[in-house]
Amino acid sequence: MSATPEDPRAEQPESGFLGRPLPRRRFLALTTAGAASLSLARIPAGFGAESPAPDPQGAGGCKVSLVVNGHTHELWIDGRSPLLDVLRDGLMLTGAKKGCDHGQCGACTVLLEGRRVNSCLVLAQSCAGDRITTIEGLGTPEALHPMQAAFLRHDGFQCGYCTPGQICSAVGCVLEGHAREPEQVGEFMSGNLCRCGAYPNIRAAVLEAAEATASLPKP
Ligand code: FES
Ligand code: FES
């Protein structure tokens, strides 16, 4: 059946800028070129694939003092470095994981002044002097943090890739007062993805360790 002029399936006339007809191929060529130039314009100078990383001690580099797990580190870093990269590559604290590198998965969660953050989204130089706690600073193999012990007891992981971020986030969730009921834990831990689907066990661990976590000094 062919479409009538009243039929919504009828092809709409092509119109260009100022209402003048514009052939479809020409329109597509223009909009594609526009989108490409817009995305190029958003790339900050110096971030292009062919731009070499700056020498940390040269232009673009800066010196920061980071307080990580109770230790102060004076570091020269590329001023554009996210905290995650400085922790992993500069300080060899590889507990925080790089999952998406876009603030979507929570694998990189650490505590900054006791609040959970996605360290892939935080500029390291903005944390100068702040208290940073990673999974390595929460407990030790001999004296686990209550949240670490609860994750073990409840099998709150399978492959373990998301686990450091889940545990740091769980501590932050408790400190925020968002770990009172299973549904609340589910909602406020939703920024931490677990590809293995260990969510029921993670929830159980967070609920069990909430009281003991809240009674400890703020990390
Ligand atoms: S690596 Fe930071 S949120 Fe995924
Ligand atoms: S335990 Fe494998 S991704 Fe969470």
DSSP letters for 19-58: G----HHHHHHHHHHHHHHHHHHHSPTT-STTSPPPPTTS
Q: Which atom of ligand 1 is nearest to the CA of 191?
A: 3
- In whole angstroms, give the CA distance from residue 145 to residue 134: 12
User: 130 with 159, same domain?
Assistant: no
CATH number reported for the structural domain that contains residue 204 in this entry: 1.10.150.120
- In whole angstroms, give the CA distance from residue 26 to residue 185: 52
pLDDT category of residue 205 using cuts at 50, 70 and 90: very high
- Unique residue bearing structure tokens 């900054």: 112
User: 114 with 75, same domain?
Assistant: yes
pLDDT digits (tens, 9 = 90+) for 86-136: 999 999 999 999 999 999 999 999 999 999 999 999 999 999 999 999 999
pTM of the complete model: 0.76
Between the CA of 9 and the centroid of ligand 1 the distance, in Å, is 44
Give the pLDDT confidence score for residue 28 in this predicted structure: 39
pLDDT category of residue 214 using cuts at 50, 70 and 90: very high
Protein residues whose CB sits closer than 6 Å to any atom of ligand 2: 157-163, 194-196, 198
Would you say residue 9 lies in a domain? no
Would you say residue 10 lies in a domain? no
Number of independent structural domains in the chain: 2
Show which of 137, 157, 189 is a domain's final residue. 137
pLDDT digits (tens, 9 = 90+) for 129-176: 999 999 999 999 999 999 999 999 999 999 999 999 999 999 999 999
Query: On the CB side of 125, how many CA atoms lie within 13 Å of its CA?
Result: 11
Domain that holds residue 153: 139-214
- In whole angstroms, give the CA distance from residue 192 to residue 42: 28
What residues contact residue 167 under an 8 Å CB cut-off, 6+ apart? 135, 138, 145, 147, 148, 151
Closest among 158, 129, 145 to 217, alpha carbons compared: 145
Average pLDDT over residues 13-37: 40
Give the pLDDT confidence score for residue 4 in this predicted structure: 44
User: 163 with 190, same domain?
Assistant: yes
Give the pLDDT confidence score for residue 60 in this predicted structure: 77
User: 115 with 65, same domain?
Assistant: yes
Give the pLDDT confidence score for residue 5 in this predicted structure: 44
Would you say residue 26 lies in a domain? no
User: 121 with 160, same domain?
Assistant: no
User: 95 with 123, same domain?
Assistant: yes
User: 130 with 65, same domain?
Assistant: yes
Between the CA of 110 and the centroid of ligand 2 the distance, in Å, is 17
Would you say residue 15 lies in a domain? no
Out of 14-23, 111-120, 169-178, 181-190, which region has the weakest mean confidence (pLDDT)? 14-23
Give the pLDDT confidence score for residue 68 in this predicted structure: 98
Task: Give helix 146-153 / helix 199-214 axis angle, nearest 10°.
Answer: 150
- In whole angstroms, give the CA distance from residue 211 to residue 206: 9
Would you say residue 49 lies in a domain? no
User: 145 with 208, same domain?
Assistant: yes
Show which of 122, 137, 152 is a domain's final residue. 137
pLDDT digits (tens, 9 = 90+) for 38-67: 333 333 333 333 445 556 667 678 999 999
Other beta carbons within 10 angstroms of residue 77's beta carbon come to 22
Average pLDDT over residues 10-15: 40
Give the pLDDT confidence score for residue 53 in this predicted structure: 56
- Longest Cα separation, the chain: 78
Query: On the CB side of 49, how many CA atoms lie within 13 Å of its CA?
Result: 1
Between the CA of 125 and the centroid of ligand 2 the distance, in Å, is 30
DSSP letter, residue 123: B
Show which of 137, 159, 189 is a domain's final residue. 137
CATH number reported for the structural domain that contains residue 99 in this entry: 3.10.20.30
Six-digit token pair at 47? Answer: 């971030």
Q: How far is CA 38 from CA 32, 33, 47, 122, in A?
A: 10, 9, 16, 25
Ligand 1, atom 3, lies closest to the CA of: 103
Would you say residue 210 lies in a domain? yes
Average pLDDT over residues 166-193: 98
